[in-house]
């Protein structure tokens, strides 16, 4: 019998990395386009003062992302864990606390910015040439647009927490695409210049927010997500649980803001500061291409690393990390080469101003040497996050942008002036990467010791019992066939009894396991692989799967039996003598059975069948990498509609007894 390889345990590492990393990189590309839009269109005006205004305001604007991360990412984790424990009330409280808490903090920040706009902008380096542009931009994107921006970002995190990553992705993409479309309209058609870019961003974010409200309205009867203020709670497991998880993500954004504002402020103090700031703005925006692609690859493989680490498959952890580092190294070298050869062409894409192009080209050549160190650093950081060592990840982030970058900025400015500032990012990321290498070396030695210990353990002997596994399409009668086969052979049948055993092993609620034990929260591999993960890189579903594998293996070790569903055919493929069976039937026979047997008439029977099987198939593919229902994955495939229930029982029992 031919078997495909399992995504998380035995699929070739290169293929597994590609399956998880590619969709994440695609989503990061959307973020890149969104980030570049304002800089690109404002640059076409040819006024370095307006480009400088974007550089000055960027650190302030990113406060909104920090607030959304603080509440949204934190609540994402709390909601996912609460659903696993069947604590729906806690999930609702976390959702409401996150949404209204993020809006309250944003409102305070917006009011403070409106009241103290002048001093704040002067502090960040605005002068008589840029003050009007910076104040116009921040008025629209922060004072007026702050609430819809944070609301949209936070709602995206909340929607993702219940497995709706496709809807979250659409909301993100919608904001980016609308911003790209509206920017030239308001900047050039309405001749609003930098204020037009701000209005376009504000409207795009507002429309994205409305989209998420519509999504929540459609989901209101089938999800724990709620925005009702009556669920707001300051209970420790809600408030602290949300903020403690969200804080590292928020701090990372704040550190980026601080580093940009520090370097930009130092550049503005030199002669021709506005041109230097404009050049830095273009350079840093172009740098986001390398940054986000490397983050996409690093974050994409986090679930794979986290799962393998949790399953103590340390050799696979090494293999995934090695493959990811190789990909990032190749990417960063190619990116570096391109920038070194054509920096002027890249800068010219963003501005026709010759002075800015000249300075920007030099700036970009110096800056681009950070790409290798930055890409590898992001990978090291993601590894530590994936294996639950968030303290190490946080330490690295603080050292890189909070300590090393800041110290180098002032030191190199004092020693070498503008030239020194151009090299700050490259030296920072090289030093940070070397520190990360040292910390990873210690972690790797610990894994090597564990691998050696595992290699010395005795190999597990094959299970002597014979087991029948029944996989089935919904409505095909597979469960009934399994029970009748077990009764005829005089061996136990495990079906719903598995729920309690898995709940005991995993610590998750029986209701959660009953709902998601065989069904994915979303319809596709990518949505399930990337959604609802905790700081250790594992989702609640991952933890349930590990418990399910142990329960099924233990039952097969204990006695001969029939096991219905739960991917048992795959789990026992190498350790038990199995007769693997797949039961299917036609749509008409399915529909008739779920109406007559299950009494379900509230919706189209055929549609219900396909919806159930679609999620069952997604779950199976996610955790086995094998096509659910593919004939060569089973020893016996039976059409219960044509053969009949009794015929299926007879055939399975006969094969079992005469094998």
pLDDT 10s digits, 592-601: 555 555 555 5
The per-type count for the chain, helices as H runs and strands as E runs, is 31, 5
Q: Is the pLDDT of residue 366 over 60?
A: yes
Contacts of 189 (CB under 8 A, 6+ apart): none
Q: Residue 566's pLDDT is what?
A: 85
Same domain, 374 and 346: yes
Distance of alpha carbon 520 from alpha carbon 431, whole angstroms? 43
Among 226, 229, 246, 237, residue whose Cα is nearest residue 90:
237
Distance of alpha carbon 203 from alpha carbon 191, whole angstroms? 17
> For 559-579, what is the mean pLDDT?
84
> For 59-78, what is the mean pLDDT?
88
Distance of alpha carbon 259 from alpha carbon 476, whole angstroms? 60
Distance of alpha carbon 355 from alpha carbon 361, whole angstroms? 10
Residue 34 lies in a domain: no
Q: Directed axis angle between helix 540-558 and helix 302-310, to 10°?
A: 40
Same domain, 439 and 520: no
> For 424-437, what is the mean pLDDT?
95
- The pLDDT tens digits of the residues spanning 467-513 come to 889 988 877 888 888 899 899 988 999 888 888 888 888 788 787 77
Among 279, 260, 259, 285, residue whose Cα is nearest residue 419:
279
Same domain, 86 and 206: yes
Q: Residue 2's pLDDT is what?
A: 37
47-71 per-residue burial string, b: 16 or more CB within 10 A, e: under 16? bbbbbbbbbbbbbbbbbbbbbbbbb
DSSP label at 536? T
E-assigned strands of 144-203? none
Taking phi over 0 as left and psi of -120 to 50 as alpha, with beta for the rest, 191 belongs to left
Same domain, 410 and 559: no
Contacts of 254 (CB under 8 A, 6+ apart): 62, 63, 66
Q: What angle do CA 158, 162, 164 make, to 5 degrees?
A: 85
Residue 550 lies in a domain: yes
Same domain, 364 and 451: yes
Contact 541, 528 (CB under 8 A): yes
Phi, psi of 477 (to 5 degrees): 85, 15
Distance of alpha carbon 572 from alpha carbon 580, whole angstroms? 10
Distance of alpha carbon 351 from alpha carbon 47, whole angstroms? 8
The residues facing 562 across adjacent strands are 468, 493
Rounded mean pLDDT of the chain?
A: 83
Same domain, 492 and 534: yes
Among 470, 491, 497, 514, residue whose Cα is nearest residue 645:
470
- The pLDDT tens digits of the residues spanning 266-286 come to 999 999 899 999 999 888 878
- Torsion 165-166-167-171 (CA) sign: positive
Contact 51, 283 (CB under 8 A): no
The residues facing 584 across adjacent strands are 639
Residue 262 lies in a domain: no
Q: Which two tokens stand for residue 428?
A: 């920072």
Q: Out of 250, 282, 312, pick the residue that ends a domain.
A: 250
First to last CA, the chain: 15
Same domain, 434 and 531: no
> For 79-95, what is the mean pLDDT?
82
DSSP string, 335-373: HHHHHHH-HHHHHHTT---HHHHHHHHHHHHHHGGGHHH
Number of domains in the chain: 3
Same domain, 438 and 305: yes
Q: Which two tokens stand for residue 41?
A: 């269109």
The CATH number assigned to the domain holding 476 equals 3.40.50.300
Residue 264 lies in a domain: no
Collapsing DSSP to helix, strand or coil, 546 comes out as helix
Q: Residue 112's pLDDT is what?
A: 96
Q: Residue 641's pLDDT is what?
A: 81
Same domain, 501 and 591: yes
> For 79-88, what is the mean pLDDT?
76
Residue 263 lies in a domain: no
Contact 83, 122 (CB under 8 A): no
Q: Which two tokens stand for residue 517?
A: 């034990």
- The pLDDT tens digits of the residues spanning 460-469 come to 455 567 888 9
Residue 377 lies in a domain: yes
* C-alpha to C-alpha distances, 521 to 84, 115, 542, 564, 607, nearest whole angstrom: 12, 45, 12, 20, 17
**Domain carrying residue 651:** 463-658
Taking phi over 0 as left and psi of -120 to 50 as alpha, with beta for the rest, 69 belongs to alpha
Q: Out of 457, 478, 499, pick the residue that ends a domain.
A: 457
Going edge to edge, which strands form the sheet with 493-494?
Answer: 493-494, 561-564, 463-472, 576-584, 636-639
Beta strand pairing call for 561-564 and 463-472: parallel
Collapsing DSSP to helix, strand or coil, 127 comes out as coil
- The pLDDT tens digits of the residues spanning 2-53 come to 333 355 555 666 666 766 667 667 767 776 777 788 888 998 998 999 988 9
Same domain, 289 and 228: no
> For 559-573, what is the mean pLDDT?
86
Q: Out of 457, 480, 508, pick the residue that ends a domain.
A: 457
Taking phi over 0 as left and psi of -120 to 50 as alpha, with beta for the rest, 531 belongs to beta
pLDDT confidence tier of residue 341, bands split at 50, 70 and 90: very high
Predicted structure pTM score: 0.74
Contact 273, 256 (CB under 8 A): no
Contact 531, 524 (CB under 8 A): no
Same domain, 57 and 124: yes
- The pLDDT tens digits of the residues spanning 106-163 come to 999 999 999 999 999 999 989 999 999 999 999 999 999 999 999 999 998 888 777 6
Q: Residue 535's pLDDT is what?
A: 53
Contact 267, 119 (CB under 8 A): no
Residue 382 lies in a domain: yes
Residue 76 lies in a domain: yes
Q: Residue 594's pLDDT is what?
A: 55
> For 403-430, what is the mean pLDDT?
95
> For 81-94, what is the mean pLDDT?
82
Same domain, 579 and 542: yes
Contact 365, 285 (CB under 8 A): no
**Which helix (DSSP H) or strand (DSSP E) does residue 493 occupy?**
strand 493-494
Q: Residue 460's pLDDT is what?
A: 47
Distance of alpha carbon 188 from alpha carbon 264, whole angstroms? 27
Contact 406, 258 (CB under 8 A): yes
- The pLDDT tens digits of the residues spanning 254-270 come to 888 889 899 999 999 99
């Amino acid at each position: 019998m031919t078997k495909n390889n399992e995504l998380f345990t035995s699929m070739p590492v290169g293929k597994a990395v590609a399956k998880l990393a590619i969709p994440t990189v695609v989503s990061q590309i959307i973020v890149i386009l969104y980030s570049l839009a304002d800089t690109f269109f404002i640059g076409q005006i040819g006024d370095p003062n307006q480009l400088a205004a974007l550089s000055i305001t960027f650190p302030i604007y990113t406060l909104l992302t920090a607030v959304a991360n603080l509440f949204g990412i934190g609540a994402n984790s709390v909601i996912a864990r609460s659903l696993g424990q069947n604590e729906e009330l806690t999930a609702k409280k976390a959702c409401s606390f996150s949404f209204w808490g993020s809006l309250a903090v944003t409102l305070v920040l917006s009011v403070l910015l409106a009241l103290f706009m002048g001093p704040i902008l002067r502090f960040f380096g605005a002068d008589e040439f840029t003050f009007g542009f910076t104040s116009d931009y921040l008025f629209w994107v922060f004072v007026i647009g702050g609430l819809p921006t944070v609301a949209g970002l936070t709602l995206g995190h909340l929607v993702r927490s219940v497995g709706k990553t496709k809807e979250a992705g659409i909301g993100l993409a919608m904001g980016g695409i609308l911003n790209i479309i509206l920017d030239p309209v308001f900047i050039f058609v309405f001749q609003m210049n930098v204020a037009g870019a701000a209005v376009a961003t504000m409207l795009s974010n507002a429309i994205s927010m409305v989209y998420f409200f519509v999504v929540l309205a459609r989901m209101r009867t089938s999800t724990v997500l709620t925005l009702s203020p009556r669920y707001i709670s300051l209970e420790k497991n809600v408030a602290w649980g949300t903020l403690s998880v969200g804080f590292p993500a928020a701090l990372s954004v704040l550190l980026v803001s601080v580093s940009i504002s520090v370097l930009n402020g130092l550049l503005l103090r030199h002669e021709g500061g506005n041109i230097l700031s404009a050049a830095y703005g273009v350079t840093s925006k172009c740098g986001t291409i390398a940054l986000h692609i490397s983050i996409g690859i690093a974050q994409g493989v986090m679930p794979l690393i986290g799962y393998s680490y949790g399953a103590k498959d340390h050799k696979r952890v090494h293999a995934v990390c090695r493959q990811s580092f190789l990909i990032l190294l190749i990417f960063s070298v190619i990116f570096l080469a391109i920038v070194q050869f054509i920096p002027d062409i890249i800068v010219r894409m963003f501005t026709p101003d010759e002075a800015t192009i000249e300075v920007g080209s030099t700036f970009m050549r110096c800056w681009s040497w950070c790409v290798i160190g930055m890409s590898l650093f992001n990978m090291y950081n993601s590894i530590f996050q994936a294996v639950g060592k968030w303290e190490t990840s946080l330490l690295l982030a603080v050292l890189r942008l909070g300590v090393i970058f800041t110290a180098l900025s002032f030191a190199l400015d004092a020693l070498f002036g503008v030239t020194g500032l151009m090299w700050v990012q490259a030296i920072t990321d090289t030093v940070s990467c070397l520190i990360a290498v040292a910390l990873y070396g210690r972690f790797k030695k610990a894994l090597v010791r564990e691998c050696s210990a595992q290699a010395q353990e005795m190999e597990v002997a094959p299970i002597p019992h014979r087991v029948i596994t029944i996989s089935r399409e919904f409505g095909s009668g597979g469960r009934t066939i399994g029970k009748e086969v077990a009764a005829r052979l005089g061996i136990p049948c495990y079906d719903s009894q598995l729920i309690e055993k898995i709940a005991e092993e995993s610590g998750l609620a029986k209701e959660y396991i009953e709902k998601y034990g065989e069904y994915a929260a979303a319809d596709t591999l990518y949505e399930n692989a990337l959604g609802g993960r905790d700081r250790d890189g594992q989702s609640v579903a991952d933890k349930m799967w590990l418990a399910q594998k142990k329960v099924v293996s233990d039952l097969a070790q204990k006695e001969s039996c029939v096991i219905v569903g739960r991917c048992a055919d795959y789990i026992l493929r190498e350790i038990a003598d199995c007769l693997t069976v797949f039961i299917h039937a036609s749509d008409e026979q399915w529909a008739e059975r779920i109406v007559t047997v299950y009494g379900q008439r509230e919706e189209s029977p055929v549609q219900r069948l396909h919806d159930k099987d679609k999620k069952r198939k997604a779950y199976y593919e996610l955790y086995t990498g094998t096509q659910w229902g593919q004939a060569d994955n089973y020893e016996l495939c039976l059409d219960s509609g044509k053969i009949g229930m009794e015929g299926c029982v007879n055939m399975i029992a006969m094969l079992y007894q005469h094998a």
